[in-house]
Amino acid sequence: MADVDWDLLRARTQARIGLGRRGHALPTKEHLDFQEAHARARDAIWTPWDHQSLERAIRNAGTHALVVASQVNERRAYLLNPNAGRSLAERSARELEQWRSSRGPSPVVVLVSDGLSAHAMHAQGHTLTASLVSALREHAAELGSLGPVVLAPFGRVALSDAVGAALGASLVIHVIGERPGLSAVDSVALYVTYAPRLGNTDAERNCISNIREPHGLTHAEGIRKALFLAQETKRLGYGGYRVKDGSGEAVLAAAEVPGALPPPSQQVRSRESR
């Protein structure tokens, strides 16, 4: 077998490859690096989220910001009882319903939560949320007007159903910190939920994962994918696993390329027509 240039390969990935060994164990440096990565992942899960700074930034930019509570208000309970992070506290549910009563339904809502990584929200959340809000305003004619940005500490993915239903939204895009790993503690996901309602399953959402500049998806790419999925869900009247991301596909006319498959959006349409 030819010699492998491990230094070259390691320079191209954050994965742990070619670590070597000392006897039957890892070299000391790699062992300590692993322990440090594990400690950083634990810190990301347990670190409190400074949502107040994001709230101030949103309001300073001229956008309404609402802070709501899930049914848990401290980290240990949040980690031990996932269902509590999927539901709104009764007081917050009433406040959102009062907002809707006084201002009317909000067709599009951005929800922001720390999820399982406050580090991710501190590193990526401010810029990503601001860019997403700007993009949704530009596409208001297609998707509907943007309502308030809702900040939900200790919120899990399914909280978007309760928030969206309370505000009368047809679309919720949830910005949330992802579970940290040994090579990434700052990754953010966007979850797109069409027609949010209590009782939705995760199969009825679309997820854009691993948004983390500069090592994962860029903010611009993540938002572009989210907008594509939002437009498709509105056109089709449903979201989730049946809606595929065709935002990066070259659009080729089947008539021009004999035997070629139509673009993904047309594939979805053709399946639905059967």
Report all structural domains of the chain as residue ranges with CATH numbers, in order of start.
Answer: 50-236 (3.40.50.11240)
pTM across the whole model: 0.82
Residue 144 confidence (pLDDT): 92
Q: Which tens digit of pLDDT belongs to each residue from 88-111?
A: 999 999 999 999 999 999 999 999
Q: Which tens digit of pLDDT belongs to each residue from 202-226?
A: 899 999 999 998 888 999 999 999 9
Q: Which tens digit of pLDDT belongs to each residue from 15-24?
A: 777 777 787 8
Residue 2 confidence (pLDDT): 59
Distance (Å, whole) CA 264 – CA 267: 5
Q: In what helix (H) or strand (E) does residue 85 lie, and over which residues does it extend?
A: none
The yes-or-no verdict on residue 168 having pLDDT over 90 is: yes
Which are the contacts of 7, defined by CB distance < 8 A and separation ≥ 6? none
